[in-house]
């Protein structure tokens, strides 16, 4: 967990550096009153992008810890109930097949 936090922190620092570089580049390219709204828009877009990336990573981690991937489901061989347990919650049969 500590390593994950460190990685997260260094990634945050990297993103801060990238956004600072972008804002510097914009302020060089555009005169001051024009550059300000552009920098704000870029910051908002970047923060949305970073949040989406973090959400995707958390989702991936969740599926890894959950065991079975969300794309694979199991169906009971005797009653056809969709479940991801070792035995069917409806009829208790341990026979199951993989479906999508």
Q: Is residue 96 at the binding interface for Zn ion, with CB under 5 A as the rule? A: no
Q: Considering the complex, state which of residue 15 and residue 83 has its C-beta at the smaller distance from Zn ion.
A: 83
**Does residue 100 sit in helix, strand or coil?**
coil
Q: How many residues does the chain have?
A: 100
Residue 91 binds Zn ion (CB under 5 A): yes
Shorter beta-carbon distance to Zn ion: residue 39 or 76: 76
Which of the residues 51 through 80 are near Zn ion (CB under 5 A)?
76, 79
Q: How many residues bind Zn ion (CB under 5 A)?
A: 7
Hey, how many other C-beta atoms are within 10 angstroms of the C-beta on 93?
13
What is the nearest approach in angstroms of Zn ion to the Cβ of residue 67?
A: 20
The residue among 21 and 89 lying less far from Zn ion, judged by its C-beta, is 89
Could you tell me which residues come within 8 angstroms of residue 92 by beta carbon, excluding any fewer than 6 positions away? none
DSSP, collapsed to helix, strand or coil, labels residue 99 as: strand
CA distances from 45 to 4, 34, 79 (A): 25, 18, 49
Chain residues in the site for Zn ion (CB under 5 A): 76, 79, 81, 88, 90-91, 93
């Amino acid at each position: 967990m500590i390593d994950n936090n460190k990685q997260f922190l260094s990634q945050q620092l990297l993103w801060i550096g990238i956004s600072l570089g972008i804002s510097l580049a914009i302020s060089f390219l555009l005169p001051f009153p024009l550059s300000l709204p552009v920098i704000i828009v870029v910051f908002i877009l970047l923060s949305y992008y970073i949040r989406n990336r973090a959400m995707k990573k958390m989702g991936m981690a969740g599926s890894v810890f959950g065991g079975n991937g969300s794309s694979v489901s199991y169906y009971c061989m005797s009653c056809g109930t969709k479940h991801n347990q070792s035995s069917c919650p409806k009829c208790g049969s341990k026979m199951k097949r993989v479906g999508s």
